[in-house]
Amino acid sequence: MENVKWDGKTDSDIILEALLLLIDEEDEEKGLTTSYGDFGKYLQKLYKAAGAGNGKYSVRTNKKVLVIVNKKQVQYELTWNKAAKLIHEYLHRKEK
């Protein structure tokens, strides 16, 4: 499996879909009321050493966030800040 440090653009829709498996409605509310930096700290505190998946994607967290795209055999490595920013932007687009 190829390990790639995520550049913030490549496969962002896939990565977002995978990250959304990790959070719930309460987290979405928090994302709408905080900056993405604070949201990243919140997610890291809450989901450090957690995981989620659906067969197409898997997410594992610890110091960094790993999103595994099974079909492509690629593992993207994200910082908590980049993961939070991607989710935060999605939540605010969805809210409009």
HEC profile of 48-81: CCCEEECCCEEEEECCCEEEEECCCCEEEEECHH
pLDDT tens-digit profile of 40-82?
A: 999 999 999 999 999 999 999 999 999 999 988 999 999 999 9
Helix 80-95 to helix 36-47 angle (10° resolution) is 120
pLDDT of residue 38: 95
| Among 14, 15, 11, 45, residue whose Cα is nearest residue 30 | 45
pTM assigned to the model: 0.91
Q: How confident is the model at residue 96 (pLDDT cuts 50, 70, 90)?
A: low
